[in-house]
Homo-oligomer: A and B are copies of this chain.
Amino acid sequence: MHEITSILIDLFIIFTAAKIAGALFTRLKQPSIVGEVLAGILIGPYVLGWVGVPNESFIHLFGGDEASAHTALMLTLDVLAELGVILLLFFVGLETRVSELMKARGRALLVGILGILFPFAFGFAFMQLFGRTDLESAFVATAMVSTSIGITARVLGEIGVLHQREARIILGAAVVDDVLGLLLLSVVSSTAGGGVDIWQLLLTIIEVALFFIFVVLLGTRIVRRYSIRLERAPIQNAPLFVTLVVMLGFSALAGAIGLAAIIGAFLAGLMLSEAKERYGLERQAKPIYEFLVPFFFVVTGTKVDLTAFRDPQVLGLALGVTALAIVGKLVGGGLASIGLPTRSALVIGTGMTPRGEVGLVVASIGASFGVISGDAFSAVVFMSLATTLLAPPALVWLYRGRKAKGDESQKDSESRGSSHP
């Protein structure tokens, strides 16, 4: 049981650090997730080493192989982090109405497409200037493409603007962005693996399309028509059970298709938003949210090794990739937002900026093919985290006129759980 105990100690430290750092940053008028990610960096293996370091009995369990023990420990923490980000996107879906999302669909499509094209082009050109191979350049550029919507969603939720047009466009664009990013990754990985499999690519497109059509056209109707029968189901607390099953099931399905699991969680929330008032789904699922979500942000922080950036060349590469990742989304989002007020365009571009774990995943895949070098890998990690840390304060600043309301909704967790008018 010793290795389980050591994981329990890690979980205790992570959860406590998250809440304390979050509260501290809220006091400093900063988004709490910045505090949580920084807490993760601090307690992680590269600084204090309080969490994420396998102990002796852990290493013994893997026959003395320290690398395997470390992989296994991070995997368990990653699973809790993944459940956390699934809950987060599920809640975002729950607060979104399909009809509102469809209203923003034209603009969202444009933001999604341009927000992919510009960062990819900038990233590819930059890596070519550094003399990298086509394949390495393509991998780094692909890592610069996909938005990690969880961070923006939480910040917009904390400010209390999830129901405004900009948020709808960002959420819709994030879905487009994730799908296109996935297709791009399929092409790049197939090239690295030997050649592009057109049939596999087509199959992925069809699976994704079917998933969306099912949720948007059928799923919401099924929920509207049949959710009332749940009251008579022979299962204890059937509404919460169905909620959790749909959430886990859609997440797993999205992962199995090759999408980010969180897109499945978002779709699950979207579908169930039709029944949320009847069963108080938000009130019921909120404690699970409060338990699991902090793990995502702290665990993301524990993966940062700041020492790699002592090397000036790595730092230069990292700063270049980061700057272009930001400018790419701002230009793409800005062009796509022509006709909207300037602040809206800036909010949309900034909201699409955080790359979070998506960039890290692409970089890991590139590394597993051996086509991405150590310094490019570090640069992508830096870019993922820098964009993630910079976007929240920028969004808060863009919404500074609304600060009073934002503070209010941060203090009262109940109001964050319910819908914002």
Q: Which 7 A-B pairs have the closest CB atoms?
A: A5-B255, A72-B72, A12-B248, A8-B252, A237-B413, A9-B252, A23-B235
| Interface residue? A129 (CB, 8 A) | no
Residue of B nearest to A81 (CB): B4
Q: Which of A326-361 contact B (CB under 8 A)?
A: 361
Closest residue of chain B to A7, judged by CB? Answer: B79
Q: Considering the chains assembled together, what is the distance between the CA atoms of A368 and B20 in angstroms?
A: 39
Chain B residues with CB below 8 A from A164, complex form: none
**A–B Cβ pairs within 8 angstroms, 17 of them:** A5-B255, A8-B82, A8-B261, A11-B79, A19-B236, A22-B235, A23-B235, A23-B236, A26-B236, A60-B368, A63-B68, A65-B68, A236-B411, A237-B290, A241-B290, A287-B287, A288-B288
Query: How does the 8 Å CB contact mask read for A37-72 relative to B, with 1 for contact and 0 for none?
Result: 000000000000000000000001111010110011
Closest Cβ neighbor of A23 among chain B residues? B235
Q: Are A1 and B61 in contact (CB under 8 A)?
A: no
B287 & A8 in contact (Cβ 8 Å cutoff): no
Q: Choose from B3, B237, B286, B288 the contact partner of A75 (Cβ within 8 Å).
A: B3
* Cβ-neighbour of A285 out of B60, B234, B287 (below 8 A): B287
- Among B12, B26, B75, B245, the residue within 8 A (CB) of A15 is B245
Number of residues of chain A lying within 8 A (CB) of chain B: 63
Interface check A152, CB cutoff 8 A:
no
Instruction: Decide if A256 is an interface residue (CB 8 Å cutoff).
Output: yes
Knowing A16-B245, A72-B72, the reply to whether A82 touches B23 (Cβ < 8 A) is no
Residue A240 at the B interface, CB < 8 A? yes
Residues of B close to A252: CB separation below 8 A = 5, 8-9, 11-12
CA distance A67 to B71 in the complex (A): 14
Binary flags per residue of A229-253, CB closer than 8 Å to B gives 1, else 0: 0000011110011001100110110
Q: How far is the CA of A260 from the CA of B234 in the complex (A)?
A: 35
Q: Given contact pairs A4-B78, A11-B83, enumerate 18 new A-B contacts (beta carbons under 8 Å).
A: A4-B82, A5-B255, A5-B256, A12-B245, A12-B252, A19-B241, A20-B235, A22-B235, A22-B236, A23-B236, A60-B368, A62-B72, A65-B68, A68-B72, A237-B290, A240-B287, A244-B290, A285-B287
